[in-house]
Amino acid sequence: MPIGFLGGEHTVSYEYFPSFYDELMEEELYEEWLAFTLSLLKKTEGRVLDLGCGTGEFLLRMTLSGFETTGLDLSSEMLQVAERKFQQIDLNIPLFEQNMASFQLAEKFDVITCFCDSLNYLEKTEDVEGTFQQVYKHLEKDGQFLFDVHSVYKVDTLFHDYQYADADPAISTIWQSYKGEEPHSVEHELSFFVQDDDGRYNRKDELHKERTYPVDAYLAMLNHAGFSKIQVYADFEKVAPVATSERIFFVCEK
């Protein structure tokens, strides 16, 4: 999809979406996340926790790159897809169904990641703050926290009355975006037309809500959680964000 598909730790249960999420997601984006992450990490091995891991595509790539990985997501349906995927190739990757804003695990990690605008699915500021606090608690000393979010420009301008349609023989998609109730928020109405074995199409509708903040607001929340070493980049490049940057990356060190 032109603006980049929606990821995220979903706050409602999705019956159909997880089963064909991978078909709709742009695979090249996962390769970009992997390459950019590896270029920013201080270590070439260690324990990695991926928040909002979804169907496990980034987890899979990090595992094959030599890391010991763990996944966490609020959606049981997404985690079921990930587990089946890993079982098919004999990978045993721990997966936890928890809310990233309040997660509790029994170990600490060298790296914690949260990509695919998963953080933007948290509708309340206190949930973003809670996520940062839990991440800090679960990081080893000198550990790294990497995440990305939609920019304010992307949410307020590019998503403003955005419409997209894609006709595919198996799955057709209609995507319409509207301004949300909170500042720098957006609501995406998604309609999927899924072909059954008998050739008929069934319509499935979903509502996705996302919210972002200015870079300075994220920095303030990260500082409050305890992070002081923070780098900010944009659009998979090691360059500072500009007014028209779309995806903002934060690299934080404990």
Closest CA to 121 of 148, 144, 158, 153: 148
Query: How many Cβ atoms are within 10 Å of 221's Cβ, its own excluded?
Result: 19
Are 51 and 109 contained in the same domain? Answer: yes
39 assigned to some structural domain: yes
Instruction: Give me the sign of the Cα torsion angle 5, 127, 223, 47.
Output: negative
Are 79 and 129 contained in the same domain? Answer: yes
Q: Which residue has the tokens 């799955």?
A: 171
pLDDT of residue 2: 43
| Average pLDDT over every residue of 63-81 | 94
Are 130 and 87 contained in the same domain? Answer: yes
Are 65 and 160 contained in the same domain? Answer: no
User: In DSSP terms, which residues pair with 149 in a beta bridge?
Assistant: 248
Q: Collapsing DSSP states into helix, strand and coil, what is residue 122? A: coil
Are 84 and 29 contained in the same domain? Answer: yes
Cα separations (Å) of 161 from 7, 68, 78, 90, 176?
A: 20, 42, 28, 44, 7
Are 121 and 69 contained in the same domain? Answer: yes
Domain that holds residue 162: 155-210
Are 53 and 132 contained in the same domain? Answer: yes
Are 95 and 197 contained in the same domain? Answer: no
Per-residue pLDDT reduced to its tens digit, 74-132: 988 889 989 999 999 999 999 999 999 999 999 999 999 999 899 999 999 999 999 99
Per-residue pLDDT reduced to its tens digit, 207-232: 889 999 999 999 999 999 999 899 99
Are 221 and 138 contained in the same domain? Answer: yes
3 assigned to some structural domain: no
CATH code at position 197? 2.20.25.110
The number of domains in the chain is: 2
Identity of the residue numbered 109: F
5 assigned to some structural domain: no
Asked whether the beta carbons of 101 and 35 are under 8 A apart, the reply is no
Mean pLDDT of the chain: 89
Asked whether the beta carbons of 73 and 52 are under 8 A apart, the reply is yes
Contacts of 15 (CB under 8 A, 6+ apart): 77, 204
Rg (CA), the chain: 18
User: In DSSP terms, which residues pair with 241 in a beta bridge?
Assistant: none
Selected residue with higher pLDDT from 105 and 15:
105
Per-residue pLDDT reduced to its tens digit, 139-150: 999 999 999 999
Q: How confident is the model at residue 202 (pLDDT cuts 50, 70, 90)?
A: confident
Are 190 and 164 contained in the same domain? Answer: yes
Are 187 and 147 contained in the same domain? Answer: no
Closest CA to 248 of 109, 155, 121, 137: 155
Full strand arrangement of the beta sheet holding 139-150: 95-97, 68-73, 47-51, 109-114, 139-150, 247-253, 229-234
Long-range residue pairs from 178-187, CB within 8 A, at least 24 positions apart, any chain: 180/209, 180/210, 180/211, 182/123, 182/211, 184/152, 184/155, 184/156, 184/211, 184/212, 184/213, 184/214, 185/123, 185/155, 185/209, 185/210, 185/211, 185/212, 186/155, 186/159, 186/210, 186/211
